[in-house]
Structure 1
Amino acid sequence: MNAFTQEINSCLEVLEKGGLIVYPTDTVWGIGCDATNKEAVEKVYRLKQRPDSKALICLVGNDAMLERIVEKIPETAWDIMDLANKPTTIVYDKPKGVAPNLIAEDNTLAIRVASDKFCRYLINAFKKPIVSTSANIAGEPTPSNFSKITLPILKGVDYVVNLQRDTGDAVSSSIIKLSNDGTVKVIRE
């Protein structure tokens, strides 16, 4: 079994038990868990020392999974995903099938279709969306690479992926809010 497959299997084992992982994404290193497991999502908020009123991002592995967890995807979303020149997270109205504590107070959820090979394989093998939030304590700088993740985060999760650790500095995704009424708002460029 190659290292890539071993890492996927190790992550799957942890995710299926409601545990937390630190893993490489198409943007910065993230803390991840089963996005449908309320207790797992709660562990992420506790680890980040962040109030659960500040919603987390959710990653899906493909368009079909996105369609399963959002009531209605505005046409504009497909255009944005096709035209984006960097990873772009879209905030959708009326998410469904995810942990209730993952959904923001205004009944929205930030979701990105992962473009990173490791993320896509992991999410598609897990068959459920995965939480992705930067691997840092709330209020601390977002770590731009693996070496900048602090010990409390690394010790606070059940598994740390041992791939892609020596990549250069990464940047966070763009975030765009698309309301079902047609409103488009750029939250983070």
Structure 2
Amino acid sequence: MKTQIFSTAEIDQAASALAKGELVAFPTETVYGLGADALNEAAVKKVYAAKGRPSDNPLIVHVADIETVKRLVEPLSEGAQQLMATFWPGSLTMIFNLKPNVLSKTVTGGLTTAAFRFPANETTLALIKTFGHPIVGPSANTSGKPSPTTAQHVYHDLHGKIAGILDDGATKVGVESTVLDMSTSQPAILRPGAVTAAQIEAVIHTPVATEVHQVGIKETPKAPGMKYKHYAPAAQVEIVNDEDWSAALKWAKKQSSKVGVMATTGRLTDLTLPSNVEVFSLGKDVTSASHLLFAGLRHFDDEPTIHYILAEGFTPKNLGLAYMNRLKKSAGNVFFEP
């Protein structure tokens, strides 16, 4: 299969491919998603095959209006409607109880709930409206690898496996949406993102749970990223705390091959870097670091001589919580130890 790159002027062609049951990657403000008709079970199955994704890992359904969600789910609570009014379109995914038999179990992982998102990307909203159906949209990468933030990242992983990629340039946020479970008595964040618990609580005036148990091997996760390995390059990533950089670079200097270093510009300026270190700047702060994290991991993944990546850690608060969630998963929770 030849994978076509669609420009933003070719939305009709991208929608036509979706209508034929093909897969088309699409941009959001967070990462690129892998789109298929959410109401076409055969098309949805192709998503799992193209990504190498476990079949019990449910998919997020992307919509271009709230009415679509209302047709598919049980009546929305007042809190859910307030959150939609505040954060949609945007980087908040919400899980709701479904009406009977409205979505295939291939979409839901066999659950009676589904996750919905109204992305803040005009190109993709135009695609969904032109197509006329909601589309599923897991990250458009090989399962377990760093998420794609450019069309080129998608092409690297999936060319020859999907019909097309709708190219709208680099994404703006860089880490996936916050996933909020609204199907339970207490709302719970299952995956942190740019929308924080404090922001959600300020809208619904209800405590939001943030400590979610690890999903067991026989359990089906309600949201992506809860059970399987994610965001991992071929090299071993090690997270470096502030006080350990000097020791980490001494260790790096002793390695027989190049070592990757991902850190903010201020951090890189302060460090004395050995000659065998290759750097990737994460910008000036946690906002830019979150935006560039996956791009940095992919940068080093293209260099087979790099077996270790030292990455700057941040305080797990607000956006730093989302950054550290993704970085810990990519590192297998490994921190550099002097």
Work out the percentage of aligned pairs sharing the same amino acid: 29
**Does the residue aligned with 1:134 lie in a helix, a strand or coil?**
coil
Match of 2:72 among 69, 72, 75: 69
Structure 2 counterpart of 1:35: 38
CA contact (8 A) 2:30 2:173 kept: no
Name the structure 1 match of 2:63.
Answer: 60
Q: 1:52 to 1:149 in 2, by over 3 A?
A: same
Post-superposition Cα deviations, 1:95-128, rounded to whole Å, max 9, x if no partner, equal 5533331023331111012221111111112221
How many Å separate the matches in 2 of 1:101 and 1:48? Answer: 14
Distance between the aligned counterparts of 1:113 and 1:168, measured in 2? 16
- The AA in structure 2 aligned to 1:113 is F
* C-alpha distance in structure 2 between counterparts of 1:136 and 1:166, whole Å: 15
Q: Does 1:159 align with 2:164?
A: yes
Native 8 Å contact 2:154 2:165 kept in 1: no
Structure 2 gaps, min length 5: 1-6, 193-338
Q: C-alpha separation between the residues in 2 aligned to 1:51 and 1:72?
A: 30
Specify the structure having the higher radius of gyration (Cα). 2
Distance 2:30 2:159 in 1: 18
CA distance in 2, matches of 1:65, 1:159: 25
Q: CA offsets, 1:134-188, max 9 Å, x none?
A: 0111111112333333534132111122x32245562210000011x53211011
CA distance in structure 2 between the aligned counterparts of 1:30 and 1:183, rounded to whole angstroms: 29
Q: TM-score, normalised by structure 2?
A: 0.51
CA distance in 2, matches of 1:121, 1:168: 18
Across the two proteins, how many residue pairs are aligned to each other?
A: 184
- The yes-or-no answer on 1:92 pairing with 2:96 is yes
CA contact (8 A) 1:45 1:52 kept: yes
Aligned equivalent of 1:136: 141
Tell me if structure 2 keeps the 8 A contact 1:145–1:169.
no
* Cα RMSD for the two superposed structures: 2.0
Correspondence 1:101 to 2:116: no
Q: Distance in 1 between matches of 2:69 and 2:122?
A: 17
Structure 1: which 5+ residue stretches go unaligned?
none
1:41-67 deviations in Å (ceiling 9; x for gaps): 000001111121110111011011111
Letter of the structure 1 residue corresponding to residue 128 of structure 2: I
Cα deviation for residue 30 of structure 1 reads: 1.0
Whether 2:181 is the aligned partner of 1:177: answer yes
Taking the aligned partners of 1:21 and 1:134, their CA distance within structure 2 comes to 12
* Residue 27 (structure 2) aligned to one of 19, 24, 28: 24
CA distance in 1, matches of 2:116, 2:185: 17
Higher relative contact order (CA 8 A, sep 6+): 1
Per mean C-alpha deviation after superposition, the further-off stretch among 97-106 and 128-137 is 97-106
